[in-house]
Amino acid sequence: MKLFIYFTGQFPDLSLLNSLQNESDIELKLVPLSHISVDIGYRLGKIHIQSQVKAVGQSTGVEMEALTAVSVAALTVYDMLKPLQKGPIIIEKIELLEKLGGSKGSYLKLGASK
């Protein structure tokens, strides 16, 4: 999953965003997970959030965990930035980049890097 947030104001201290990676207030337990990570970066005036999720013995629905992780991270970033931004903060382009296995098989978005 990948999400782009466009933010045009003064960017806050990156340590605030790094702390999101350790946020555990919301546990994602729709399916049993063996791995979940959320990476947050900033380049060219955009915040990029990407999540990777792995599950063992679960054949379907795992991508919902990644979508939830990216969405919660985006909303947290939005909440942190709204006092700093006078104009709109746009959250957009949540998309599945790659999926391996599952009931419908594997998927790799055209142009996505592995």
pLDDT tens, position by position, for the chain (114 residues)?
444 444 444 444 444 445 555 544 455 455 667 777 888 888 777 888 888 888 777 666 788 888 888 888 888 888 888 888 888 888 888 888 888 887 788 888 887 765
pLDDT value of residue 2? 44
On the CB side of 3, how many CA atoms lie within 13 Å of its CA? 25
Q: What is the pLDDT of residue 94?
A: 87
Catalytic residue among 13, 25, 39, 79: 79
Give the pLDDT of residue 10. 46
For residue 80, the model assigns a pLDDT of 86
Domain boundaries, the chain: 2-108
State yes or no: is 79 an active-site residue.
yes
- Per-residue burial over 55-81, b = 16 or more CB atoms within 10 Å of its CB, e = otherwise: beebeeebbebbbbbbbbbbebbbeeb
Class of domain 2-108: alpha beta
pTM: 0.67
Backbone angles phi, psi at 82, to 5 degrees: -60, -30
